[in-house]
Amino acid sequence: LNISRLFVTRKASVDFIKSIFSHGVITLDMTCNISCVCLQAKAYSLDDGDVYMSSYENRFRLFSSVECEGQLYMTPLNFIESVTLNEPNMIWDFLLFLQELDKMLADTPPVYKGSSNLFRNLRERGVISYTEYLFMLCILTKPHAGFKIAFNMFDADGNEMVDKREFLVLEEIFRKKKDRKEISEDMQRFDHLQLYGHHKTQPHSVLKKDSQHVEAQGMWDVLRRGTSQVLFSDLTEVNVDEKTETTLLVHFFGKKGKAELKFEDFYKFMDNLQTEVLEIEFLSYSKGMPTISEEDFARILLRYTNVDDVSGYLENVRQSMPDEKGITFEEFRSFFQFLNNLEDFTIAMQMYNFANRSVGQEEFSRAVYVATGITLTRHLVNTVFKIFDEDHDDKLSHKEFIGVMKERLHRGDGVRRPRPIRQHPSLSSTSISIFKSISIIYIYIYT
């Protein structure tokens, strides 16, 4: 496939589309008044070996819609869709120049004016890097205490403030942690497939910026080489000093990047981000009402999990709770705050398992409060038991609940089924996005 230069306008014709697929060549040069749909790429051969792409990277590529200075970015709306939808509403790629990015970022409010509508208000007027994407997934799935500890580690003078450079290092630490966790989990799944006689595709060949292969002998070899140098290199920006300004950086540190970020403001940002995502999910089922049904609550909990018999869980709710009381947003929010502390709760649950004791509703509520400091209403706890108590003994086992909820926490990578992706190691993000961009042609023809 030879891709020299592509401009897409309303004048694009069906004959042009046919020529793409009949000749395998895209060599069109047309006058264009829509600069954001201008894509450039080199000629590539697609005959090389499989390159492993993590679930997170795969999902970022799927939802990202902006390219600037050779890097892929999400818009705020892209990010919201990536954690609330299975697939993007529209495949739309456009090239953004630095001058246009500067104008776009001018709409970013300062952190002290943040709200739980920030991403919904900005929509397409902003960019989010891959590192920031992983960082915000951590915010949505991890307890805030870990961020407080990390924040304090960089707070040398004890004023609970960090500057831009310190924050970028902090962000990178959380990214690497999530990268390592993702690799470890994916490697375990590959090993699991091999145990049952499936062919194990080697997932150790990964993309590098300089188009070289890094052949790792094992998991720890990858980590020793340095995650930031080996993995996701065409998505992760190269140098802290050369970082392109993003919506998050302008929001935290101002347009000149000279402001300092208070932990109090950062905590509000984390809380607002979680609230915004939860509000979107809740409102999609409540339709403007103050509650959602217990059955819809079950549907939300089982999203992004690999549960085979979802209908069986829903039937449990219908049969055991014929009279709907409904789940309020505060109950909904408190449950997901509890899920962010699932690791601590798991320790408490394991103590019951060591004692060979199943967990009833009172023990469950107590374990939640002791481990997380969160109080769940009796109705909410009863609903959870009705959903996950598969054997109807009014007890909850580790397998019935924690196993499923751990999958639910990985909302950002969608359905967790990694796969090898056929791709040349030097294939850039631009050439990948061009295939998605062909759909733009149809939009301009028929609108």
Residue 345 sits in a domain of what CATH number?
1.10.238
228 and 141 within one domain: yes
Q: How far apart are the first and last CA of the chain?
A: 29
User: Which residue is it, tokens 């339709």?
Assistant: 287
- Per-residue pLDDT at 435: 42
Residues 184, 236 share a domain: yes
Same domain for 291 and 259: no
| 131-158 per-residue burial string, b: 16 or more CB within 10 A, e: under 16 | bbbbbbbbbbbbbbeebeebbeeeeeee
Query: Does residue 138 lie in a domain region?
Result: yes
- Type of residue found at 205: S
- Tokens 């790792």 belong to 216
Asked whether residue 25 falls in the same domain as residue 136, the answer is: no
* Shared domain check, 60 and 37: no
24 belongs to a structural domain: yes
CB atoms within 10 A of CB 193: 13
Token pair belonging to 438: 């062909």
Rounded Cα–Cα distance for residues 268 and 259 (Å): 17
For residue 398, the model assigns a pLDDT of 67
Q: Do 176 and 80 fall within a single domain?
A: yes
- Position 383, amino acid: T
Within-domain flag for 359: yes
Q: What angle do CA 167, 410, 334 make, to 5 degrees?
A: 85
Residues 6+ apart with CB under 8 A from 73: 64, 66, 67, 96, 127, 128, 129, 246
DSSP assigned state of 442: H
Residue 291 belongs to a domain? yes
| Alpha helix positions (H), 46-129 | 55-63, 76-84, 98-105, 118-122
* Percentage helix, strand, coil for the chain under 3-state DSSP, each rounded to 5: 55, 10, 35
Answer yes or no: do 135 and 245 share one domain. Answer: yes
User: What's the pLDDT at 355?
Assistant: 62
Residue 418 lies in a domain: no
CB atoms within 10 A of CB 277: 21
Residue 424 lies in a domain: no
Q: How many CB atoms lie within 10 A of CB 52?
A: 22
The pLDDT assigned to 181 comes to 55
The runs of H, that is alpha helices, within 196-355 are 219-225, 227-230, 247-253, 263-286, 294-302, 310-320, 329-339, 342-354
Residue 55 and residue 176 share a domain: yes
Q: Determine the pLDDT at residue 75.
A: 95
Q: Confirm whether 117 is domain-assigned.
A: yes
Q: Is 254 inside a domain boundary? A: yes
In the chain, which residues have pLDDT < 70? 1-53, 177-242, 353-357, 397-400, 410-447
Nearest-5° Cα angle at 54, 49 to 59: 115
User: Do both 105 and 199 map to the same domain?
Assistant: yes
The Cα-based distances of 324 to 215, 295, 332, 380 in angstroms read 56, 9, 15, 12
- Token pair listed for 96: 């953004």
Q: Are residues 87 and 130 in the same domain?
A: yes
- Answer positive or negative: Cα dihedral of 126, 127, 132, 136: positive
Q: How far apart are CA 161 and CA 415, in angstroms?
A: 38
CB atoms within 10 A of CB 65: 23
Q: Which residues contact 236 (CB under 8 A, 6 or more apart)?
A: 129, 130, 131, 175, 228
Domain range for 232:
50-66+75-272
Q: Supply the pLDDT for residue 151.
A: 81
- Give tens-digit pLDDT for 253-267: 998 888 999 999 999
pTM beyond 0.75: no
Measured CA distances, 183 to 66, 97, 140, 174, 204 (Å): 26, 33, 20, 14, 10
Domain count, the chain: 3
Both 33 and 159 in a single domain? no
Both 350 and 211 in one domain: the answer is no
